[in-house]
Structure 1
Amino acid sequence: MSKYYVQSGTLRTVVSAESTNKAAIWAVHQAMQQVFPIDQDTPTNEPRSVLAREVLISERGFDREDATRFATMQVVSQWNEMVTTLDRLERMLHRAA
């Protein structure tokens, strides 16, 4: 896995991922957990990240002109599909148990 510098609005994070797209989804996941906490360990009193229209990903650092760019809404949509699928799988496992 590679190390990616991901930024959008006030969000700046470094993540390990298999691709730029997966790094973008993970960063959006971090931001969305502030709004919709998925687990009890999510801090609720830290400053909130605000995403911009684009998510920028680079293997070289922040504020790079050559960063890969994704529309934030596209990444949020992919994140939503992932969370929905995980929720559906969890419900299936509980029914099977």
Structure 2
Amino acid sequence: MAKFYVQSGTVRTIVQAESSRKAALWAVHQTMQQVLPVADDMDQTAASKTDKANQQGFTVLASQVNVSERGFDRADGVTMPTIEVVAEWNQMVTTLDRLERMLYQAA
């Protein structure tokens, strides 16, 4: 897997992924975890998430996500509209939720 430098708004993260699109999806996922319940933070209460956000600060996405294999602030990176990445992330999370419910119903 390649290493990607993903940035948008206050988000600056380095991600290993199969593609620039998947790296952008992971950055959006990390950002959305601040406010939405996801499987990997189910043990945290709303109060603990709020405390963490107040201590570390919220990350905020801009209108574009820039992904580069060469570093941050590169003009040669791939730029994609944040709304498209968020929409794709939403479809992925919705699908995973449906699959999880189907597994529990089958058990």
Please tell me the TM-score bracket, short chain as reference. over 0.9
Q: Deviations over 1:48-70 (max 9, x none)?
A: 11000000000011000111001
Alignment of 1:79-90 (within 5 A): 79-90=89-100
User: Shift of residue 41 of structure 1?
Assistant: 5.4
- Cα 1:18–1:41 change in 2 (3 A) is farther
- Aligned partner of 2:77 in structure 1 is 67
User: Shift of residue 35 of structure 1?
Assistant: 1.5
Tell me how far apart the structure 2 counterparts of residues 65 and 82 of structure 1 sit (CA, whole Å). 29
**Deviant stretches of 4+, over 6 Å:** none
User: Shift of residue 37 of structure 1?
Assistant: 2.9
User: Shift of residue 84 of structure 1?
Assistant: 0.1
Does 2:42 correspond to 1:40? yes
Tell me how far apart the structure 1 counterparts of residues 94 and 101 of structure 2 sit (CA, whole Å). 11
> Which of 35, 59, 64 is residue 49 of structure 1 equivalent to?
59
Higher helix share: 2
- Give the structure-1-normalised TM-score: 0.94
Question: Tell me, what secondary structure is at the counterpart of 1:34?
Answer: coil
Tell me how far apart the structure 2 counterparts of residues 60 and 77 of structure 1 sit (CA, whole Å). 26
How well do the aligned residues superpose, as a CA RMSD in angstroms? Answer: 1.3
- AA partner of residue 30 (structure 1): Q
Structure 2, unpaired ranges of 5+: none
The structure number with the bigger radius of gyration is 2
* Percent identity of equivalent pairs: 62
- Aligned partner of 2:4 in structure 1 is 4
Number of residue pairs matched by the alignment: 97
Question: Tell me, what secondary structure is at the counterpart of 2:33?
Answer: helix
